[in-house]
Amino acid sequence: MQQVNLGIIGGGTVGSGVYEALQHNGSLLASRIGAKVVVHRIAVRDPKKKRAAQIPRSLLTTDWREVVFDPQVQLVAELIGGTTTAREVILAALKSGKPVVTANKALLSAHGEELFAAARKYGANLHYEASVCGGIPIIKSLREGFVGNRINALYGIVNGTCNFILSRMKLQGVDFAAAVAEAQRMGYAETPPDLDVDGHDAAHKIGILASLAHGFWINPKKIYTEGIRHVTPLDMKLAGQLGYTIKLLGIIKKPAHGSCVQVTVYPALVPNGHVMASVNDAYNAVLVRGDVVGDTLFYGQGAGKDATASAVLSDVADAALDLKFANKHRVPPFVPHECDSSVAPIAGVFSEYFVRLDVLDKPGVLARITSVFARNNIGISHVLQPRGREGEIIPLVLMLHRAPNGAVTRALKQIADQPLLKGKPVMFRVENFQ
């Protein structure tokens, strides 16, 4: 049986997980692909550090170059994260003609075009299934399974940390800070948790998926990104009374006519009857709508040692098969095909809306607010106003008909300038998956 020597850059959670998984299932993998994958060398920062996996000291080095440029290493897995050294590692490996496996969504988001161009130039492939929703094979599905479909829409709960936090806020009634603290205790959230809770991690992933779905590389600066810091237990409760759950959604939509694609990340109200509303804790889910296949749902662990290691092994197997059959580009990493498209500005994106206003309970307040929306051509479908005493501050909730984001933002600014409002308006978009 042919042997493929794997070099791993990074011996942390993911790197150790990949090594451990190969020890457990290496013979199974070999029987399925007809090639034995052997870990030849691993680059780590500290060889003396205690690791979950028992890695022989003889495999370790502190210099990634000793892995990448080792003539016996045929395949490189970059598992260190970041966008500086990781970029250098991948470019060096590709330039050496060696295929690379990476789980680095931040690097792909920032430098994907450069890395894919290097893969083409040097005749080496770049595999990145583990970069988005670890245990869910969504990259391979978009590149291969749905190759005959136009992707009309994609909705993703792609950040397990945020989903865990929002689940705790809904199911236990805790506030944002308490939910974040619990996520940190359980190892789901970093300290500080900004990359997750401010939506940036989700934006990295949704940008990669949008690029694959629509054939042009998405500039991460063009992705409208909103986090979950402003979600409160009150909003969760009020949304529940209206039949909704709040989820952080990555959304990719392309209208039937026009070349602009919506690529956004923001917390949205999801109908309780929809399957996405029942995705709780640290799980991920991605709903893909193809023009031929219809709706397809992917669900599973999105992060963590084992889920990510599983995705890395999938790519390692593909790369090993390419090496076995001397076919370096069986499935190219990215094929541009709709280069005339662009990302739609958020002001022009249409949605329905949930708006909460803390107002003084007195006659004429509701009429003044509705008149502002009317002047901006925004219709109101439902009003939820808890009973209070005159002069008391109460939450007023309005559900708005479908309207452009720019018009709603303008109307809320006009309302915020009025003395009847106490505090800033709170607005969430509503996603009915239509």
Which stretch of DSSP H or E encloses residue 277? none
Q: Cβ(224)–Cβ(281) under 8 Å? A: no
As beta bridge partners, residue 393 has 360
Q: Which alpha helices (H) appear in 257-344, and where do they start and end? A: 305-324
205 included as an active-site residue: yes
Q: Cβ(62)–Cβ(43) under 8 Å? A: yes
Q: Cβ(99)–Cβ(76) under 8 Å? A: yes
283-317 burial code (b ≥16 CB/10 A, e <16): bbbbbbbbeeeeeeebbbbbbbbebbbbbbbbbbb
How far is Cα 430 from Cα 248, in angstroms, rounded to an integer? 11
Residue 218's nearest CA partner among 228, 232, 208 is 208
Kindly name the residue from 205, 253, 254, 305 that is annotated as catalytic.
Answer: 205
Residue 255's nearest CA partner among 185, 140, 350 is 350
Q: Cβ(216)–Cβ(339) under 8 Å? A: yes
Q: Which residues contact 271 (CB under 8 A, 6 or more apart)?
A: 243, 244, 277, 432, 433
Catalytic residues: 205
